[in-house]
Amino acid sequence: MRNFKFSAPASAATITFAVLLSVAAAAPAHAVTTAVTDWTTLDQSFENAVDGDVVMLDADIDASGTADYLGVPAGAGITLDLNGHSLKLAPTTGPGIHVGSTSSLTIDDSVGTGRLEAIGSANPADPWPYFPGIGTDTTDLAAGAVTINGGAITAQGGMYAAGIGGSRFAGGGSVTMTGGSLVAQSGSLAASVGSGYLVFNPLYRGSVTVVGPEDATGLPTVAGRGGPDNEVAPVSYTDPTSGVLVTGDATGSIPDQGRLTLAFHYRVTFAFADGVTSDSTQIVDWGHAASVPADPVRPGYTFAGWASSVAGTSPGDPTIAPVTFTAQWNSVALDAPEITTLSLPDGIVTDAYSAPVNAIGTGPITFQVSAGTLPAGLVLDPATGVVSGTPTTAGTFAFTVSASNAGGSDEQEYTVVIRERPIITTMSLPDGTIAAPYRETIAATGTGPITFAVTAGSLPPGLSLDPTTGVISGTPTVNGSFPFTVTASNAVGDDTHEYTIAIAARSVPATSTDSTGTSVRTPSDGNLAWTGAETPLPWMIGGGLLILLGASTILWARLRRRFA
């Protein structure tokens, strides 16, 4: 294998990637724009172009397998505007686009969604199958200048050729990139962007420089060699966040091949300009649309749309440059709030509660408790004015609610009573005895007043229930078992409980026999049991004997007359 070396001016060996915001020089006065829709008119437009002409796609074009390839005329600089369309160039012989050392090509995309795929041929049957995707054919020692302002660009070189730059034995030209995205893939033993195979002169190995306020992601993850002597393409770029210049060599991780991937992105800012909401900043890849936030809200204003810092750009358009969208507002007359809810309903402990405080006026209106406290367990929604929750404590609660907007405020005082249903706490009642006074209380918790009533069964005769105190009192007159139900009620509910009271008879005095064989009932304590009396009567011994003797005499006299 023979090795060749070429020498050339230093300017012919510079390959520069620069993210620039400068405006390109104005085209010559005679420049024309030609719209093309097919391969034939595209090819003719390139052949006939003069310096400053623009060729613009008006349709998608697939020129795979053509015998000819696009070429920029010597000494001319032309612009290819993808205009949001796709173009595929893959000739059977030659580069995808020929750009000689005295020519220049600018690739643009005025819409932001255009795509270009340029593939150099690698036909083994051809004696010189060494062509780049974009760059020189075999007629020049180096490629010309290529500027990429937009579009998703893929440039793939054939065998021994660069993705963008030189073919076999040819060096790379200058490459300037201000936007879009690029994937440059070389063939064997060539640089991704730079020289082709068998170029050893360092002036041709090229360099990659990325500079600008907006940077590229995926800076050369893989970049190829300039030849078998392992000459590499130096890479430098400026970090846009820190401004620090970073340098290094982009070496190939794929044997004998190089690949350079650049995807530019831009900052898209949505400035809400409402004095409250922080601006929203997004980093958006070239050609992609930013995520448009919901229409902002500002008290006292209506949203009137977004103003763009880049003329002709609207939110949702493909991103092709840094842009700030600023919210526009129209002021409106504000009506101060007026609370129309004059009272709130009372509540019950453990029952869910929900009641709105309504107000008229220009929204948004916010609500707050400005004095006093809500009942325990309840909260006020500041956006809707709804008081809700589950009360946990009975009582009377006074508080003030204020409603406010940018135009003023209003207040209203409220009093909410939280009541608790009755709960009977007396689980049973003691039994009683005939003629013995009886008094017991049925107790209940809850919000008063609480009333009591027998709602089933009946009390023992002689007893009654006080409806206001729950006291059962009286003197039982009948023995037996008496089941009944008591209900305790208040304004918000009731509770019931079943009871049974057993009433026992009074105890009977003991019986004895006198000396005559007559049974005599005598109390053991020497007193006479007397029903209905508070205390037993004492036996009058003498009087008792006289009564007994008198009764015996009368009985004996009657018996004698009867049997005489």
Tell me the fold of 266-331.
Immunoglobulin-like (2.60.40)
Tally DSSP H helices, then E strands, for the chain: 2, 46
Asked whether the beta carbons of 188 and 256 are under 8 A apart, the reply is yes
The DSSP letter of residue 524 is: T
Q: Which residue has the higher pLDDT, 180 or 496?
A: 496
Query: What predicted TM-score, i.e. pTM, was given to this entire model?
Result: 0.53
Q: If pLDDT is split at 50, 70 and 90, which confidence band does 558 have?
A: very low
Structure tokens at 274: 């409402």
Q: What is the model's pLDDT at position 407?
A: 83
Structure tokens at 161: 């050729």
Domain ranges of the chain: 10-264, 266-331, 338-419, 423-504
Cα torsion 18, 24, 25, 27: sign? positive
CA pair distance 315, 270, nearest whole angstrom: 9
Per CATH, 266-331 and 338-419 having the same topology is answered: yes
Q: If pLDDT is split at 50, 70 and 90, which confidence band does 162 have?
A: confident
Instruction: Give the tens place of pLDDT for each residue, 336-391.
Output: 999 999 999 999 999 999 999 999 998 889 999 999 999 999 999 999 999 999 99
Query: CB neighbours of 350 closer than 8 A, spacing ≥ 6?
Result: 390, 391, 392
Q: Looking at this protein, which amino acid is placed at residue 442? A: I
User: For 264, what's the count of Cα atoms within 13 Å in the CB-facing half-sphere?
Assistant: 34
- Apex CA 356: angle with CA 355 and CA 361, to 5°? 170
Q: If pLDDT is split at 50, 70 and 90, which confidence band does 208 have?
A: low
CATH class as words, domain 338-419: mainly beta
Whether pLDDT at 176 is above 60: yes
Q: What is the mean pLDDT of the chain?
A: 79
Q: If pLDDT is split at 50, 70 and 90, which confidence band does 302 have?
A: confident
CATH 2.60.40.10 fits 423-504, yes or no: yes
Instruction: Give the tens place of pLDDT for each residue, 492-515.
Output: 999 999 999 999 998 766 555 555
CA pair distance 538, 213, nearest whole angstrom: 124
Instruction: Give the tens place of pLDDT for each residue, 224-262.
Output: 443 433 444 444 444 444 444 433 333 333 444 566 666
Q: If pLDDT is split at 50, 70 and 90, which confidence band does 166 have?
A: confident
Average the pLDDT over 287-316 and give the result. Answer: 90
